[in-house]
Every structure is written in structure tokens, then in C-alpha cells.
Structure 1
């Protein structure tokens, strides 16, 4: 689906209900499979969470999670613990290019029976579930926090619990802390000191309900729209000041770009600051929140603010190589941009080239990050329905704050 995007009024006003966090939902879904007395409310309605739900409920021995990277990592660990069950876990062609060897090796150390169906180190995987001993294991911490979270989520069901040592610089620490906090919330004891995490065996928890906070990554596109508008006030629900999500750093980042945020009950209210003096450039280390890099880069280009974004090494193994994709598409729009394997450098410029078609590379965040730029220039978004991976209501919500999208 190719959509032509514009915003006639250049002003954004509205109140939106944002779906639950995909990251929290998928963690809680796995925990619910381990602890059936756990009830979940405000679950994400994303494709990824539907893929996770289906995989946990199906009796099929072939499980295809398509593009859902989080589900691939979490389910690899989960099915390794399912004694007596043998499955093949696979995904899209891109998923079969995304490495998983680090996690598989760590699971093998604690007793898992996992083999590769095609290429060594990559899905599809054949997993023969068994009772895992657990115990002591180490894991490189600078590749993907999802590997770490996958181990932490199954840790209470291991015979000897888990004593995990993280090696090297820790990537996306807030996602590890989210996993530990959710374990704590349901009643599992954890200990995180230095680079060592210990979780004891705990097969039983009390029956309970957990409410998922709305997704901050989804909120990022509304922060961007407010920043790029002439005037704006957008209310989003449901959010907490003590959020577990690393992307809540959006509040501080967009304050530099003329957006104020205030909490009222479980809502956040975003407002455009009039006559705001924008900085000439900003420097951000996004190692703890890499998923918002695309949104920030596009916002800065639209505002004519230079940016240097670092800590982005994990973006190369996402749905696409997001750094190369950003370089390609922003250059197409007239930007002066340079990327490395772990950083992005954008010069201050508003040399907009109108009516360009933005490729999305089967990446939901590429599609959504570029839409707010319609407040500055008309353009097209290719494969626009890819947004359902994380934010199925995206187009409806953008229309509610004044964006128009016409199918070409």
C-alpha cells in the first residue's frame, strides 16, 4: 500500500488512547504461559504480540513468528523448557538472517536441546523441550538485550535458577531492568549487582492481574508531530511517571526540540512551545533507547537541527539495517547525512525535496518515523501497512490529529 501523506493545517490537536507496550506485553505473555494464574490487561494489539500469543497457544509443531524478533528470542528460551514437546521455530526471510547463536549457546550451557535447521547460528530452530538445570552461565551483553531477557524470563522455572554474568558493555539496559521489574511485580525475587544477575527457582506465584503501560515507542511519533507542527496539544494515555520503558527518555529529548510534557492522572499532555529557540545541534547517546533513533533523526531534519546520534550498533540487526535505511531515505529528501556501524551524523539543513517516496524496508519504524515530516513537506510512504507490526491504530491516530493519507 502506497500512501500520499500531507497535513493541511500544520497544527496537531487531539486525545488518543495508545495501545499497551509491545515490550511489556510480550514479557508478560511468556510469564503467563509459565504462571497460568497471571491475568494481563491493556495488552498490545500489535502483530508481534498476536504472533507471540498464537505461538504460545498453538499445538502445531511448526511455529512461524514472521517478523517478530522479540517473539523469536523469547520463544526460543520458552520452548526449550517445555518438557516432552518438540517444535520448529521459524520466521520471515529477514528473520532467518538475524543471528540467534549467542542465545542458543547460552541455553545449551544450561541443558537445552536446540539445533539449526538451515544455517548455523540462525533460525529456523529445532527445539526439543526438556527440564533445564539452569545454574551459572555468561552472555555477551553488547549484542541484544533480548537474549538476556529471554534467559531471565525462564529463570524461575529452571531447576537451579539462574546465575547470569554479563560480559562487556550492556546494551539497552532499560529493557533488562524492565524484565527484572516485571518479574519483581509478579512476586519473583531477583538480584542485579554489577554485571551479575541471580534469580532463584520459583515455580509458583499468587493469582494476580498486571496492567500493561501504553507504549512509549508509539508515543514517539506524536512527540515528533508536536515538534514539527506550527501549534499543537496532544493528549496520550495511559502512561506512568515511573515507567519501566527506556523510551520514556523522549520527554527529556523533545524538551530540547520545543515540546513540553506533563502528567495528569494516567495521561501525558504534549504541547508545542511557541517562539522556542531551537539548538543548532544535539548530541545523544541512544544505547539505552535505540528504537527512537529514526524518529529523532527525522524530527531533527524537519526542524533544521543537526544531530549526532551514537550507541546505535543494534540497529544493524533489526527488521532492516536501520542506519543504512535512514541514510538512503533522508538523503533522498535532501539531507546531508553520514552513518557508521554505530552512529548517525546529520547536518543542519532544510533543503527539502518534495513528493519523494519513502521506502520502508519491511520496517514498521521506518514508515512511522517519516510520517510527521508531512508537517513540512508532502511525501509518500511505501508499504504503509507495515505499521501493524507494533502500532495497528497508527493511521487512524495520525488522522485524528490532522494528517491526511490518500492511497495512490
Structure 2
């Protein structure tokens, strides 16, 4: 099935931004590792947070969903029961954290995932865990998922990781480190990309009572054996999800109000707000009502702009969609981490937008795909079939890009919004966007395969 998305002449309304996926996942995890009962208020319920909950239940946590919050009975320092196979589906974060945590318990555990996960880079994490005493083997392809963790303990010591592949490696080691037999030191080599995700991890651990030292440049960490403490956590808005609504609002003159916006965030993707302000879009936060008003005057999105995406990789596809309508140019660099995501996101967006007639050029740094430059126009013909490349963020960004085209596009992968933004289509429908599921033609099906 494909989704036919009709273009619109305007975009406005009152729309709700979902809660933060990374904040919810980290809160579920600290609640699981704590002794006692924790609660997570305003949690996000989507496929990837459900995957985290199922993985934590596999370690013995009791997680109950209530209206507006989760209740978690944690396992503390003990691991009363661990399933022999833990399913991570397509979540790189879940796979990496579960693989690290499985090292500290006494029996073998297989950690697996779907086809997209099995293609993702895992070697730096597996090597670092082995340096700390873990006994891990890959089952199919060397240093890839799935793995078997023989559960012979995490001794402690020093390990090293590259900083330019995934911040999730550091996050996984940090969460497991307090449960090791001895102190753990983590050394990160090279430039640290996505530092905001690491800071979110450090904050969630500190709030749960873990004493962890991190150098200012996030290249050195020290963690002593210690216990997680139960707590109540309230999650706030997800700025990656908000970026799609904000970008759509920026494509049309008018006013849009986003609710569920609190304004205080450690998320790197908060960068979408100052980026839009630089592009001429007006944004006003009302803390009393937890809302963000977008006032987009005629004539915005004009000029030549450059954005460094090293700390906001998840909005790189959104910026490509937005850049298609910047009359001038939008140059985005520092997005090299996206080549390790569910799809190579820069190449994917460039290929699909080019198919739609957008003038976009991929940028390389030392032979590595690092960003793009797009020279926008007022509109495009549309009427094309576009692929999500199996990546929910590619789908949502292409959805936004098609709203100002002259004819409806047909997009693959619309079911994948459930991974992080289950109400995506409903929120856009509130703003007048019409999207209809249609059967793929024989040619469209062949192209997608």
C-alpha cells in the first residue's frame, strides 16, 4: 500500500506534539534498574517505546500502563529472570542497551532484531564490552546483530569508543556501567557527535542517583559500582516529531499553534526552533498554556543559510524537505551520522527530492557523506511516487515536502509512523491535509522492491 498525499493551499490549526521518545525510553530504563516503584508521566506510547518496555520486562521489570503515566516495579541490583531471547525489532537503542545489560547477568541471552537492525554498525560497542570483560559472540555476521551474550559478567576497567558513529554506544555502556563488578572508564576518540543524547543519558542517570563523572568535552567518563534509585519522571515534547509540524507550518503564511510544548529541553533537535527563526518564521512560547505559536509571514524562507547538524541529526531529513522551498540556498553539514541510521538519510532524501524535481546536491567531507545543499523553489509539479527507504523519518519528511507541490504524491512506508509518532496523520488531518491509502501499481511495487 502507498499513501496518496494531496497538496494544500494553507496549513493552520491547533496541533499536539507527542512526548519525547528518548526521554521516555531512558525513564523506562532507569525505572527498570531501580529498586522500588517509579512512575513516568506523560510517556510516549509508540512501537519503539513499547520495544523498550518489552525488553525491560524480559529482565524482570513489571511495567503497567495507566492513563497518563507508567508504573514500573524495578529489579534493582538483582536479575530475577531473563528471557533467553530478547527482541529489539528495529530499535538500535534497545539492542545496544540490552546487549550491554545482558553482560552483567549470569546466564546466556540472545539479543536480536529485524532486517534493518541486522545491517547496522555494532562492532565498536561489542569490542568495548569485551574490553570490560563481557563474553559476546555474533550469531550470523561478525560484529553485527543478532548476538549471544554468554552472561559471564562485566568486570570493569577501561574501554574505548569512536565518537563519530553513534552516541548510543556511549549511552549503552553508561547505563550498564554501575552494575559492573568494578569501576568503568570510557574513553571516546575523535569528535563527539550527538552530544545532547549523551547529556540526556547522564541527566537521567544522575537523577536516578548514579554518580557518574563526564569530562566537559564528553570524551572521558568514570562510573563507580552503584545502585539506581526509584523516582517519578515527567517527559516533555519531542522536537524531532515537532520538526515535521513546524516545517509544514513554515511552508505556508499563517498561524499554527502547537500544544504540549514546555520549552525546556536538552534535545539537540530543539535546533529546529532557532533555524526557523533565522529563516524568518516567528515563534512564541507560552509556558502558561504549554503551547508554541508559529506566525509565518509572507516572504519568509528567503536567503542563503548554513546549518551544522552535528548535534541534531534526526532533523536532517526535515531540513532537506524545508530547504526545497528556501528561495536561495540551505546548506546542511555535520550530518554524517545519518548514514548509520535506519537508512542513509542524506542520500535517501537527495534521491527522492531529486525525483520530485528539487535541486539538491549531496556534500562530502573526506569522502564521507556529510550533508547537502538545496536551492529551493516556490513549488514543484509533484505527481510522483516516492520511497521512504524503510525509514519512518524519511517518510514524514517527504510527506511534508509534498504539501506545496501542485499534484499529489504517493509515498511508501506510511505504516512506520507508529515507531515514533503514531498520531502523525491525525495531526496533519487537523490542519486540512488529506491523505488516502491506495494500492500500488505493478510498476510502483517493483520500484519499491
TM-score normalized by the length of structure 1 = 0.94
Following superposition, the deviation at residue 73 of structure 1 comes to: 1.3
Once residues 209 and 222 of structure 2 are traced to their aligned partners in structure 1, the CA distance between those partners, rounded to angstroms, is 15
Equivalent residue runs for 1:117-128 within 5 Å: 117-128=139-150
Q: Contact 1:281–1:348 at 8 Å: present in 2 too?
A: no
Q: Residue 368 of structure 1: CA displacement?
A: 0.7
Q: Distance in 2 between matches of 1:20 and 1:127?
A: 33
Q: Tell me the CA shift for residue 185 of structure 1.
A: 1.7
Equivalent residue runs for 1:253-402 within 5 Å: 253-265=275-287, 267-339=290-362, 340=364, 341-350=369-378, 352-377=380-405, 378-402=408-432
Q: Give the structure 1 partner of residue 224 of structure 2.
A: 200
Superposed CA RMSD: 1.8
Tell me whether 1:115 sits opposite 2:137 in the alignment: yes
Counterpart of 1:168 (choices 190, 194, 202) is: 190
- Residues 283 and 398 of structure 1: CA distance in aligned 2, closer, same or farther (over 3 Å): same
How far 1:47 sits from its partner (Å)?
A: 1.1
- State whether structure 2 residue 198 is matched by structure 1 residue 158: no
Kindly state the Cα deviation for residue 7 of structure 1 after the two structures are TM-superposed: 4.6
1:353 Cα deviation after fit: 2.7
Aligned-pair distance for 1:240?
A: 3.3
Where 1:346 maps in the other structure, the secondary structure is: strand
* 1:181-200 equivalence runs, <5 A: 181-193=203-215, 194=217, 195-200=219-224
- Alignment partner, residue 444 of structure 2: none
What is the CA–CA distance in structure 1 between the aligned matches of 2:107 and 2:235, rounded to whole Å? 30
1:116-169 CA distances to partner (integer Å, 9 max, x unpaired)?
A: 101111111001224322232221111110001111111222222322111110
Query: How far did residue 354 of structure 1 move?
Result: 1.4
Supply the distance in 2 between the matched residues of 1:126 and 1:240 (Cα, whole angstroms).
42
CA deviation profile, 1:217-259 (whole Å, cap 9, x unmatched): 1000011011012312222204332x12111111101112232
Q: Which stretch of the first structure deviates more once superposed, 398-407 or 256-265?
A: 256-265
Partner of 1:86: 108
Partner Cα separation in structure 1 for residue 342 and residue 118 of structure 2: 11
SS in 2 for 1:11: coil
**Are the counterparts in 2 of residues 335 and 350 from structure 1 also a CA contact under 8 Å?**
no
Question: Could you say what secondary structure the match of 1:66 adopts?
Answer: coil
2:182 and 2:225 in contact (8 A); partners too? yes
The answer to whether the Cα contact below 8 Å between 1:30 and 1:74 also exists between their aligned partners in 2 is no
What corresponds to 1:222 in structure 2? 245
The corresponding residue for 2:67 is: none
Equivalent residue number for residue 48 of structure 1: 48
Deviations 1:347-370 (A, max 9, x none): 233461311122111100011112
- Residue 244 of structure 1 corresponds to 266
User: What is the CA-CA distance between 1:260 and the residue it aligns to?
Assistant: 2.4
Return the alpha-carbon distance in structure 2 between the equivalents of residues 324 and 104 of structure 1.
28
| Secondary structure, aligned partner of 1:94 | helix
CA distance in 1 between counterparts of 2:20 and 2:257 reads 19
CA gap of 1:351–1:401, structure 2 versus 1, over 3 A, is closer
1:212 matched residue in structure 2 = 235
Q: Say whether the 8 Å CA contact 1:246–1:289 is kept in structure 2.
A: yes
CA contact (8 A) 2:209 2:227 kept: no
Q: Are residues 326 and 8 of structure 1, via their aligned partners in 2, closer, same or farther at CA, if it must alter by over 3 Å?
A: closer
- Counterparts of 2:206 and 2:282, CA distance in 1: 32
1:131 maps to what in 2?
153
The answer to whether the Cα contact below 8 Å between 1:106 and 1:139 also exists between their aligned partners in 2 is yes
